[in-house]
Structure 1
Amino acid sequence: AEYDWSVSCDQEDEDGDSVFCFTSQVRGGSASFSSSVFNLMNAIMGSGILGLAYAMANTGIIGFTLLLILVSSLAVYSIHLLLTLCDQTGISAYETLGDRAFGRPGRILVACTILVQNIGAMSSYMFILKSELPAVISSFLSPVHDGGVWYENGVLLLILVTVCVVLPLALLPKIGKFWKSCRTCYPFHVKCFLLCIAFCFVCVCFSQSVYAVPTMAFSFLCHTAILPIYCELQRSVSTKQRMQQVTNVSISLSFILYFISALFGYLTFYNSVESELLLSYDVYRPRDVLVVIVRLAVLLAVLLTVPLIHFPARKAVLMLVKGEESISFLSHCLATFLLITTVVLLAVYVPDIRNIFGVVGSTTSTCLLFVYPGLFFLRVSTHTLPSPAAVGALCLVLFGVCVGFLSLVTITVSLVQS
């Protein structure tokens, strides 16, 4: 990040001499308001949109709406705390805030949390590939064809796509090379992703209401991208009001899209909604053109998103293992193979995508969304208890800890019983 340094002499010491005070502010970038909103919505919208219809089926429309309002409002407030810290410290990275608040242990803790969060996100995308690829291929085959062939085996198709597409893109050393390699298909990828959002019946979700809040936390998590987007935002003065407006618009639009997708997914099948909604259409309209288009859009989106999410995950692994040392090509390859192998194994052996959303959402998502922003604010900010800002940060921490702990315990018990 770059900083603008200013000096003032509006203070005096005990002898009456002027005291010069140096302050720093993050310098504005070249990104416009609309492009910042788009970038932040890209960070928010992901596989979480596929995880809300079944939650509505189990919490009811009114209960779901109230929970969605609560989580989105707390997300806005936690981002407000991060922006306040950014203005006070000039820090533009989540891990650096952890280092500022708790030293190297804080930096390692944040890096580990981001790593687990990204592994969970990649696993959810891989799970979608495993479940949707066979259905898409079957829709192009004759209705009377014999089943049981290899190209209708989700696990084999997942391994094949991983080796041929995901792994080569993930092995690239820099994210810029990834975009250069995908420059011919990325515009189509963006259009397909927006198309996927527009078709609001594309939803995958959970079988118990206990998964609702973790899923929403997973869906609204964008905090690791907030500070970099803030530093790139074009502004005449270095204040957080403009970025807060970007946040309010982005989360409001995401709220609308999430609510519409959950509502129409629920109204399609009511209490019979499956945890993988698109597979439910095989019973009623297995070869519908619109359903096939949506499936292809989802597959293309997740296929190109997995290696993209892999870059910060690999960076976290190398930072934890190597620290600030130079990274060799061998270490780069080993970290890539380790991460991709872990993600594929999770996608293969986890029986339901709701388990990924539930466990990751109740642990790392609640930490990054609620707990860490409040803790960092209490530790770094000049506001101390019992000031209103500090009390709000403390309440945010307590909410995140309680919700995360209770959700994780309940989910663990249900998994053990099943």
Structure 2
Amino acid sequence: MSQGAVGDDVDGVVAIVAVVSSKKHNSHSPSPVKVVVPASPESEVEEDGVALLTDAESPAVRENGDLFASCQLLTNSFEAGDGITWYKAVFLIVNAALGAGLLNFPRAFQEAGGILSGNIVHVIFTTLALGSLIIIAKCGSERNCKTYQELVLDMCSLGWGMAASVCIAVYCFVTCITFIIIIGDQFDRAFASFLGSNFCHSWYLNRKFTMTISSLLLIFPCCLKRIDGLRYMSYIGVLSIWYLTAVIIAEFYTGDYERGPITEFNVSWTQIFDVVPTICFGYQCHVSCVPIYSCLKDRNASTFSKACVSAVVVCLMVYTISANYGYLTFGSLVDGDVLLSYDASKIQVLLAVILLALKSWTTYPILMFCVREAIGDLYVQLRRISPVEAAISEPRRRKIIALLLWAASILMALFTPNINIVVKLLGSLAAIFIFVFPGMFLLQEVLGKRGNLIPFTWSRRMLVGVAMFYVVVGMFAFGLAFTLGVRHIMHPDSSQPLCK
């Protein structure tokens, strides 16, 4: 890669022109695509004409704040040839999976028709999510890819690779909206507990003002620059999730809350699948698992599969405990954001509120960084901007895109009544990452080997059936989650605002 393609700006972001192509489709690939990506101290490695993004700065890693910070810290600490052990990979996968989805799990069990049906569907789809992780681990180890998008590009096509990038960018942007809604919810809960139910009649305590001003002062400045300074704060996110789980358990035994009817199993088969979007959102670590694999010291499918199984078991325990204890505490009265159902005048609940808001403040800029770079890359490609022009205009373009994205996320959050709607929409995209693309990977892996005159045995036919099953389930889950999200937008639920 020539030095002439590199230009620095005041924030240390370097515009680098890379040629994206698939090794497998070199003879049939269209003209090279110019992509502008940020450089980091761990600069890109060019191999066979393909510029590979580093673990720390790839969009797939930036999709999750905890993962980005942890992986960047790790890659700064070891030389080429070294790496992390499988149990450290477990920590990274858990960081990538556990998040705001936990807040919606108790309500999802109510929507699924009861505690028994909710647990059954939870276990089934968690098992399927684990299976797709193992598929990604096997395919990623064979193709030696660095990011989820690169794996899609290598195993499918350039078009599918671009589609994966767009889906990841949209997923991150909608997740940013979720964080703003969570911040507003926590402000409301704290004010209502200490000032009474009419707190929002004061303009400076109104939800729309607190969401906007806190985002302007605490989030927006970080969206304009690099996010290296947030690496240590990201661990607060992990602490907040574990602490929230402990609070949910403790309040079940010590709290005195009004509880609605608790259903065990009383649903139609269509209602059971209402829990699917929440499960997909809660277990979406698949985009991050490819760069985590590239951090391993012992890079093979069996080692990473062991890490995936261990991480999913941990997540299953946390989500199951939180969902069951939260639902049993409030029954049918549980809120879409379970933390809103607790009394924030209690010091332990107030601390959980503060930690959750802090997690949202520190994670939002990391996700916005991913969206900002993805849109900037797309803009450069569509406008066919030269490398020199792209490098010169990068600072201005970055700030304009960040401003527009931040404003758009604020506006959408202000008019979204609760987190339940956003989780449904995010679940639709997560279903693609968890089911559709892994099914396509497995299908390509099996059918691709058939061309090598390998007998098409019954075992291979079963693998084709599994691959098709994943694709069908993924498309079904995507359509279901998207439909539920639109339905909630058109007909919001009857939950009352805290300020009456």
User: TM-score normalised to the size of structure 2?
Assistant: 0.70
Summarize deviations over 1:377-418 as a string: whole Å, max 9, x none. 323563457533332122111111122223433543454355
1:227 matched to 2:290? The reply is yes
Is it true that 1:240 corresponds to 2:240 in the alignment? no
1:354 aligns with 2:408: no
Displacement after TM superposition at 1:295 (Å): 0.8
Please tell me whether residue 132 in structure 1 is matched to residue 186 in structure 2. Answer: yes
RMSD across aligned C-alpha pairs, in angstroms?
2.8
Q: 1:188 to 1:140 in 2, by over 3 A?
A: farther
Matches within 5 A, 1:11-410: 29-59=82-112, 60-139=114-193, 148-173=201-226, 175-179=227-231, 183=232, 185-186=233-234, 188=236, 190-200=238-248, 210-235=273-298, 238-281=299-342, 285-323=343-381, 325=387, 326-327=390-391, 328-362=394-428, 364-379=429-444, 382-383=448-449, 386-410=460-484
8 Å contact kept, 1:169–1:178: no
SS at match of 1:387: helix
CA offset digits 1:296-335 (Å, max 9, x no partner): 1111111111112222222221222224954510111122
Look up the equivalent residue of 1:374 and give its one-letter code: G
CA distance in 2, matches of 1:391, 1:171: 47
Q: State the shift of 1:128 in Å.
A: 0.8
Structure 2 counterpart SS, 1:134: helix
- In structure 2, give the amino acid aligned to 1:300: L
Alpha carbons 1:111, 1:316 under 8 Å: kept: yes
Cα distance change on mapping 1:88 and 1:414 into 2, 3 Å? same
Deviates more, 1:155-164 or 1:144-153: 144-153
Partner of 2:63: none
Percent same amino acid among aligned pairs?
21
Q: Give me the whole-angstrom Cα distance separating, in 2, the residues matched to 1:380 and 1:89.
A: 11
What's the counterpart of residue 412 of structure 1?
486
Structure 1 CA distance for aligned equivalents of residues 344 and 96 of structure 2: 32
5+ long unaligned stretches in structure 1: 5-26
**C-alpha offsets along residues 224-265 of structure 1, whole Å, 9 cap, x if unaligned?**
110111111122xx4211111110010110001001000011
Decide whether aligned partners of structure 1 residues 338 and 90 sit closer, same or farther in structure 2, where only a CA change above 3 A counts.
same
CA contact (8 A) 2:337 2:420 kept: no
Distance 1:44 1:408 in 2: 21
**Offset of residue 372 of structure 1:** 1.1
2:121–2:272: 8 Å Cα contact kept in structure 1? no
Task: Give the distance between the partners of 1:45 and 1:192, measured in 2 at CA.
Answer: 10
Render the CA deviation track for 1:95-135: whole Å, top value 9, x for unaligned. Answer: 11222234332221001100111112111111011121133
Deviations 1:40-95 (A, max 9, x none): 10000011111110111232122111111111111111111212221221112111
Q: How far apart are residue 373 of structure 1 and its match?
A: 1.5
Q: Per-residue deviation at 1:286?
A: 4.9
- Between the aligned partners of 1:218 and 1:322, the Cα distance in structure 2 is 31
Query: Which range moves more in the overlay, 296-305 or 375-384?
Result: 375-384
2:248 alignment partner, SS class = coil
Mapped partners of 1:187, 1:358: distance in 2: 27
Q: How many residues align?
A: 380
CA distance in 1, matches of 2:199, 2:487: 40
Deviation of 1:187 (Å): 5.1
Structure 2 Cα separation of the partners of residues 198 and 29 of structure 1? 36
Residue segments in structure 2 that go unaligned for 5+ positions in a row: 1-43, 48-79, 253-270, 451-455, 493-500
